[in-house]
Structure 1
Amino acid sequence: MELFNEYEVSNLLDVSIHRLNAWANNGKLIPVKSNGVKQYDKQSLLRFEIAKEVFNSEWDEFIKIKPNREYTSIELFAGAGGMALGMEMAGVEHVLLNEFEKNACKTLRYNRPKWNVLEDDIQNVDFLEYKDKVDIVTGGFPCQAFSHAGKKLGFEDTRGTLFFDFARCINEVKPKIFIGENVKGLFTHDKGKTLEVIKQSIKDIGYTLIEPRVLKAMYYKVPQKRERLILVGIRNDLAKNIEKYTFPSKYHKVLTVSDAFKKGELYDKNVGKSEGVEYPKRKKEIMEKVPEGGNWKNLTDDLQREYMNGSYFLGGGKTGLARRLSMKKPALTIVCSPAMKQTERCHPKETRPLTVRESARIQTFPDSWEFQGAKGQQYKQIGNAVPVNLAYALGLSLVDFMNKIEQE
């Protein structure tokens, strides 16, 4: 009998310990007691689809995928290079990276002097010189509201938004396949109308969209609960091969903050010291009272009222407030401002926000990747990045698809 402790099961199924206990009480998932500790039999977990996928992981085979030839890409909204680095790890060759923000461009150039980094507003960039010369276009376009009044809801209706320029690049370059990534909320943005406009736009420029899917980074060797909506489009003349594209295989376990900070599966040494912000004196005194994995609800009522102010009387869980991470669980989504009240990311053991390098490790950047600009800019670059290992998995899925269609 293979047993898993309650933290491992909580992470695997992405439910709270409280929920697991409720399931134990109502008979949905019965724990096995071992030395007084709740554990769960692997067989009982196989009733959950996600457990089946993780336990039957093909990750070790998946990462053996190599390009049959040199596949090229254009990376848009490149940021600090999370997506680009993951794609590089998968064997994809970048011919152009476009990014507007100067400090992010400095980071890209510092770490990869040979990359062709174009520092400019995408709206100024003409991509026609790359027509029929590039296999892949990737990018995490910022999501802006579209106007729908009396419109035909297609490519032309996205003018003035950054998605329009993402689609314009694809239309001008004509890659075989593209990947766009965005926040999970795009699914429901404007009651789903925004995604419908995007779908129609992709159709308008001659691409067939695989049904969009939300991927949870924590199932792809990333110690973080980040969720991203992934759009994959295949050029219509190749769309008969659409079933040859498969989303990445999941990793065989869920990694935690401990895996990010300590020597092990992700890194060959413990996390080193790096720059970080500090709490003001009174905030630190209050945060000292929050236990590992806890939040404002673990404070005494008087401290709750002091810390939350008017928010104390509002509804909702607000569990991100005064939040201390847990070494035993994946981190919450890494944000641009780790000490901001609404998106608190306190170190599990020490009473301080995460440092730059701790944040970068949770995003699975290698320690050799150095961020440029002021401290606040470095945090922002990390918070906006695609986790490197998630991008690596997506890169492998693209290489696998390209290999398959070129074997015909």
Structure 2
Amino acid sequence: MLEQELFYSPAEVADMLSISKRTLLSWENSGKLVPKQHPDDQTKVYTKSDLVKFLPGFKMFNTNWAAEMLTKPIRDFYSIELFAGAGGLALGLEKAGFKAVLLNEIDKDACQTMKTNRPEWDVRHDDIANIDFKPFAGKVDFLSGGFPCQAFSYAGKKLGFEDIRGTLFYQFARAVKEAQPKVFLGENVRGLLKHDNGRTLDTIKEVIRDLGYTLVEPRVLKAVFFMVPQKRERLFLVGIRNDLAQKFKFGWPSPFSRILLLRDALKAGILFPCDVPVSSGQKYPKRKKEILDHVPPGGYWRDLPEDLQKEYMQGSYFLQGGKTGMARRLSYDEPSLTLTCAPAQKQTERCHPEETRPLTVREYARIQTFPDDWHFCGSLSSQYKQIGNAVPVNLAFAMGRSLIRLFNDIEEDIVRESVSDESDPIKQMEFAF
């Protein structure tokens, strides 16, 4: 009999193929993708041979993840990080091999979090507008940051660098202009793609061209493909300085070989050697807990008895729309939904799969793939906010490895050219004069 792990549940397959469960069911009804019955319990399951027919499945089962994990920097590559938050992106990039020489963040608690965990990091608690990046020119290789998404004021004209003053992207662009890194990484929400009918991203692309950088076509990465047990999407923008862009190409990271589940975050296994440690967390009011006690794992408000649906939803009960985040209980057998800045907001509930309570701070952190020894500072609400706003560490690690490969290629070419120059007698004569 085939081993248990060779079977994939409908929930796993929907995540692997980036489709909804409803779409998966319609594929079953149309014959496009028909499940088998599990030999033990007769539940619907799929096998590798079913899934490799689809591009996402093919990529997952034919991944270069293991080879990419061996990526190491051939020298120290120095970096600056802006809008660093609690350090999720910075930690992943550090794991990949980058050496941060400056990290900037305006939130006091987030700065204290980074200083507590990495005393050697130069963390600047300041408004980015107050920082001069010109002293770093020629000294840093890389600059990164998750600049907030803001609209620009167009007044009917095409915008350039000087026209976007007053926005945080302007400050990000100013840092790139002054520090002149070989490569930069911008990170943002998926919504930037269509923000202001696409004009925001078009302006960003124009400014990047003005700065002398070539932008790799932006791509949305789903964290669930990169060893993160969470359905979270982030948009990444990679810019390569024009003197390097024609010669070197950036390769996006390959996916991990399977989808990780909430169980992988909270229990001992592939991500962590032990179950999640006990930590502080928010509590539900008495009546809310009584109502959520009736929601099954993976369920939401529509799984409540009708009288409780009406009581919990109040006027929203009669409105159109799924409102699937309300009264939502997570399931061990699926990835977590995207974490927000608080686990007990009514519109985006994140209830523990077994116990009727919000996720704790350490549970939140594990879902974002922070290590258990990464301590968060500030009030309870501040800690949740820091974690909820972070880039998942393993997603940042995957991007970091791809960037290190790019830098290794650049560095190896520099070394080859240097050796070639030394062996060229004509060039040696030029140097002599």
Give the TM-score category using the shorter length.
over 0.9
What is the TM-score with the length of structure 1 in the denominator? 0.97
Aligned to 2:198: 192
Aligned to 1:214: 220
Q: Quick one: distance in 1 between partners of 2:117 and 2:309?
A: 44
Q: Quick one: distance in 2 between partners of 1:11 and 1:260?
A: 17
SS in 2 for 1:342: helix
Q: Which amino acid aligns with 1:310?
A: G
Superposed counterparts of 1:77-96, under 5 Å: 77-96=83-102
SS in 1 for 2:220: strand
**Aligned CA-pair RMSD:** 1.2
Q: Decide which of 348, 357, 363 is 1:352's aligned counterpart.
A: 357
What is the CA-CA distance between 1:147 and the residue it aligns to? Answer: 1.0
Q: Quick one: distance in 1 between partners of 2:21 and 2:194?
A: 28
| Percentage of pairs with the same residue | 58
SS in 2 for 1:179: strand
Q: Quick one: distance in 1 between partners of 2:300 and 2:18?
A: 18
Aligned to 1:367: 372
Aligned to 1:338: 343
Deviations 1:165-193 (A, max 9, x none): 00100010000001000000000111111
What is the CA-CA distance between 1:47 and the residue it aligns to? Answer: 1.9
Does structure 2 retain, via aligned residues, the 8 Å contact 1:151–1:157?
no
Superposed counterparts of 1:159-198, under 5 Å: 159-198=165-204
Q: Quick one: distance in 1 between partners of 2:302 and 2:60?
A: 33
Do residues 23 (structure 1) and 27 (structure 2) align? yes
Q: Quick one: distance in 2 between partners of 1:205 and 1:15?
A: 38
What is the CA-CA distance between 1:48 and the residue it aligns to? Answer: 1.3
Deviations 1:33-68 (A, max 9, x none): 233222223222112111011111111110100001
Superposed counterparts of 1:53-202, under 5 Å: 53-202=59-208
> In terms of Rg, which structure is larger?
2
Q: Relative to 1, partners in 2 of residues 1:241 and 1:310: Cα closer, same or farther, differing over 3 Å?
A: farther
Deviations 1:377-396 (A, max 9, x none): 10010001000000001111
Q: How many residues align?
A: 407
Q: Quick one: distance in 2 between partners of 1:225 and 1:4?
A: 17
User: Which runs of no fewer than 5 residues in structure 2 stay unpaired?
Assistant: 414-433
What is the CA-CA distance between 1:14 and the residue it aligns to? Answer: 3.4
Aligned to 1:288: 293
Does structure 2 retain, via aligned residues, the 8 Å contact 1:297–1:304?
yes
What is the CA-CA distance between 1:355 and the residue it aligns to? Answer: 0.2
Q: Which amino acid aligns with 1:13?
A: L
Q: Which amino acid aligns with 1:254?
A: I
Q: Decide which of 32, 43, 51 is 2:49's aligned counterpart.
A: 43
Q: Decide which of 203, 207, 223 is 2:229's aligned counterpart.
A: 223
Deviations 1:236-285 (A, max 9, x none): 1111134x210111111110100000111100100010010000111111
Does structure 2 retain, via aligned residues, the 8 Å contact 1:277–1:353?
yes
What is the CA-CA distance between 1:130 and the residue it aligns to? Answer: 0.4
Q: Indicate the larger mover: 6-15 or 113-122.
A: 6-15
Q: Quick one: distance in 2 between partners of 1:275 and 1:393?
A: 30
What is the CA-CA distance between 1:144 and the residue it aligns to? Answer: 1.2
Do residues 405 (structure 1) and 405 (structure 2) align? no
Q: Which amino acid aligns with 1:301?
A: E
Q: Decide which of 6, 9, 19 is 1:5's aligned counterpart.
A: 9
User: Which runs of no fewer than 5 residues in structure 1 stay unpaired?
Assistant: none
Q: Quick one: distance in 1 between partners of 2:131 and 2:157?
A: 27
Q: Quick one: distance in 2 between partners of 1:314 and 1:164?
A: 41
Q: Which amino acid aligns with 1:298?
A: D
What is the CA-CA distance between 1:18 and the residue it aligns to? Answer: 4.1
SS in 2 for 1:211: coil
